[in-house]
């Protein structure tokens, strides 16, 4: 079983990237905003950036050790690196792009289902096909760890879902440590086994996608994971619930305990749309006009006041939802998470 270990400090503009992480035969996603240091971590592992402190090892073999003066050259590291935009040579065919990294391309092209494209140039390929060529080139080096930098960023929305599924299946089949960098939480959740959230060079939370959704460590993580985020001031009520007065004067209740400034998080799929309030004191209600209705596969994203709800296509049709009409967005106190403000 492969095992990659990283504990490094790398100065970048404005701050230091200080990251400690480990990946066994799994896919670990580094998720965070642009400029947070995600790509710097990959480049340090690949030997393209030199840390000022720390260690990088694979399967117990040191690739970098600041104290022991170990710093293997990039070509000495068993890394398969897929950079942003894939960086294919435009003047070379698919098979020559793969052969450039070494090995015999034919078997890799067959394995990735692109053998029929062997003579094509990158400009003739779709985004998903270019991604597979870049993966084939990375695998041609017979790597012991895969590093993927924003592998879905260049794909159109229609292709993205299918490629996520294909990439997850391939990475599981390979059984290598893989570190994937992305700013998109959905990409990370669809492909990776675990996620580490990187902000300003620091990992602020790590766990499965389910962990981050259910118990975000901060308002930033909650919003990154797709939650609606409101801010307000919390106080405990005599009935055991916490009441939060959010910006604009709206009162929301939660079963989480908190006092003082908090972030209020509720996920779109926890919100129901109706014509009237239920009268339940442990249920939150926001009455407001529908600002927008956006199709999302077989679901609809409905913006009601400060909230985005996600309902089924059938529910939207049954309710005959229309932009501009006043509805009630309802969600339970148990589904209302309170987090520290980032």
Pairing of strands 337-339, 260-266: antiparallel
Tell me how far apart the alpha carbons of residues 330 and 9 are, in angstroms, rounded to a whole number.
46
Report the pLDDT averaged over residues 139-148.
92
Tell me how far apart the alpha carbons of residues 197 and 221 are, in angstroms, rounded to a whole number.
7
**Domain extent listing, the chain:** 4-214, 219-339
Report the pLDDT averaged over residues 300-329.
91
pLDDT (0 to 100) of residue 273: 94
pLDDT digits (tens, 9 = 90+) for 320-330: 899 999 999 99
Using left for φ > 0, alpha for ψ between -120 and 50, and beta otherwise, residue 320 falls in left
Domains 4-214 and 219-339 share a fold: no
Class of CATH domain 219-339:
mainly beta
Q: Is 1 exposed, middle or buried (CB count within 10 Å of its CB: 0-12, 13-18, 19+)?
A: exposed
Residue for token pair 């015999």: 104
CB < 8 Å & 24+ apart, contacts of 122-128? 122/86, 122/88, 122/89, 122/90, 122/92, 122/94, 122/97, 123/90, 125/94, 126/159, 127/154, 127/155, 127/156, 127/159, 127/163, 128/155, 128/159, 128/162, 128/163, 128/166
Q: Is 325 exposed, middle or buried (CB count within 10 Å of its CB: 0-12, 13-18, 19+)?
A: exposed
Taking the model in full, what pTM does it have? 0.83
Mean model confidence pLDDT for the chain: 90
pLDDT (0 to 100) of residue 335: 92
CA distances from 301 to 315, 318, 323 (A): 12, 15, 12
List the alpha helices (DSSP H) in 259-325: 313-319
Contact 20, 202 (CB under 8 A): no
**What 3-state DSSP class applies to 163?**
helix
> Residue 54: pLDDT band by 50, 70, 90 thresholds?
very high
Could you please report the per-residue DSSP string of 192-248?
A: -SEEEEEETTEEEEEE-HHHHHHS-SSHHHHHHTT-EEEEEEEEE-TTS-EEEEETT
pLDDT (0 to 100) of residue 125: 87
Residue 97 has pLDDT above 90, yes or no: no
Torsion, Cα of 10, 11, 15, 16 (10° steps): 30
Contact 71, 54 (CB under 8 A): no
pLDDT (0 to 100) of residue 294: 86
| Selection from 123, 131, 199 nearest residue 162 by Cα | 131
Tell me how far apart the alpha carbons of residues 287 and 206 are, in angstroms, rounded to a whole number.
36
Residue for token pair 């055991």: 240
pLDDT digits (tens, 9 = 90+) for 64-90: 999 999 999 999 999 999 988 788 888
pLDDT digits (tens, 9 = 90+) for 289-298: 999 998 877 8
pLDDT digits (tens, 9 = 90+) for 178-223: 999 999 998 999 999 999 999 999 999 999 999 999 889 998 999 8
Contact 191, 27 (CB under 8 A): yes
Class of CATH domain 4-214:
alpha beta
């Amino acid at each position: 079983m492969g095992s990659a270990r990283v504990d490094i400090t790398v100065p970048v503009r404005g701050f230091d990237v200080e990251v400690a992480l480990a990946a066994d035969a799994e896919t670990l996603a580094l998720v965070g905003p642009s400029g947070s240091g995600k790509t710097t971590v990959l480049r340090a592992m690949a030997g393209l950036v030199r840390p000022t402190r720390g260690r990088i090892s694979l399967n117990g073999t040191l690739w970098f050790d600041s104290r022991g003066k170990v710093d293997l050259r990039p070509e000495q590291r068993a890394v398969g690196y897929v950079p942003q935009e894939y960086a294919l040579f435009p003047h070379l065919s698919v098979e020559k792009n793969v052969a450039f990294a070494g090995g015999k391309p034919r078997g890799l092209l067959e394995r990735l289902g692109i053998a029929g494209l062997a003579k094509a140039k990158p400009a003739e390929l779709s985004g998903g096909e270019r991604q597979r060529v870049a993966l084939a080139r990375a695998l041609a080096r017979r790597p012991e760890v895969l590093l993927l930098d924003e592998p879905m960023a260049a794909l159109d929305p229609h292709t993205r879902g299918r490629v996520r599924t294909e990439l997850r299946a391939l990475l599981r089949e390979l059984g290598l440590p893989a570190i994937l960098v992305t700013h998109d939480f959905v990409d990370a959740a669809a492909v990776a086994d675990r996620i580490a959230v990187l902000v300003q060079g620091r990992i602020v939370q790590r766990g499965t996608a389910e962990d981050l959704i259910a118990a975000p460590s901060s308002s930033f993580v909650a919003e990154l994971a797709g939650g609606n985020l409101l801010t307000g001031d919390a106080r405990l009520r005599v009935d055991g619930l916490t009441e939060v007065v959010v910006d604009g004067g709206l009162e929301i209740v939660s079963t989480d305990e908190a006092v003082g400034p908090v972030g209020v998080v509720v996920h779109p799929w926890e919100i129901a749309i109706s014509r009237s309030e239920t009268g339940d004191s442990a249920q939150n209600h926001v009455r407001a006009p529908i600002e927008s209705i956006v199709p999302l596969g077989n679901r609809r994203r409905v913006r009601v006041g400060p909230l985005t709800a996600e309902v089924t296509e059938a529910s939207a049709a049954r309710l005959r939802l229309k932009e501009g009409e006043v509805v009630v967005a309802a969600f339970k106190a148990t589904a209302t998470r309170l987090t520290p403000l980032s």
